Amino acid sequence: MHKRPLTVIVLSMVYIAAGAVGLVYHLSDIRSQPLPADLFWVSAVRLLAIVAGVFMLRGLNWARWLAVAWIAFHVAISFLNSMQQVLVHCLFLAVIAYLLFRPESNAWFRGSTSAA
């Protein structure tokens, strides 16, 4: 089995942290108002980040695609806010996709799927 690349470790931890912090932040909205209608969807998106991070650490290929889809979703919804957010999320998308599809990352994800 191939050694887990440092970039995959770092990105996985960023996804887990972003999902967990966002989940705690948005769940704290419950105290300030009656159950917001979009709380379920916001929480689901945050949970997907955690799932992507955990399973990228395990080397599952679908998890890296989930991670790319997660940030691509943020690019799409940033169009509702400002062009600056669109540009920042596009930059994040490009960097994340580059890091997750480099040869070292490909070997990590390919090695784990064949062993499973």
DSSP assignment of 38-93 equals THHHHHHHHHHHHHHHHHHHTT-HHHHHHHHHHHHHHHHHHTTT-HHHHHHHHHHH
Note the pLDDT tens digit of each residue in 98-114.
999 999 999 999 975 44
Among 13, 21, 25, 22, smallest CA distance to 54 is for: 13
On whether residue 76 sits in a domain, the answer given is yes
């940030």: which residue's tokens?
71
Rounded to the nearest 5 degrees, what angle is found at the Cα of 39, between the Cα atoms of 35 and 45? 165
Specify if 1 maps to a domain.
no
* C-beta separation of 56 from 96 below 8 A: no
pLDDT tens-place string over residues 19-78: 999 998 877 767 666 666 778 888 899 999 999 999 999 999 999 999 999 999 999 999
Domain that holds residue 101: 6-115
pLDDT of 116 reads 42
pLDDT of 77 reads: 95
| Residue 51 forms part of a structural domain | yes
Instruction: For the full predicted model, state whether its pTM sits above 0.85.
Output: yes
pLDDT in the model for residue 41: 84
What domain count does the chain have?
1
Residue 6: pLDDT above 80?
yes
- The pLDDT, as a whole number, for residue 27 is 78
Residue 37, SS3 per DSSP? coil
User: What percentage of the chain's residues is helix, strand, coil (to nearest 5)?
Assistant: 80, 0, 20
58 domain residue, yes or no: yes
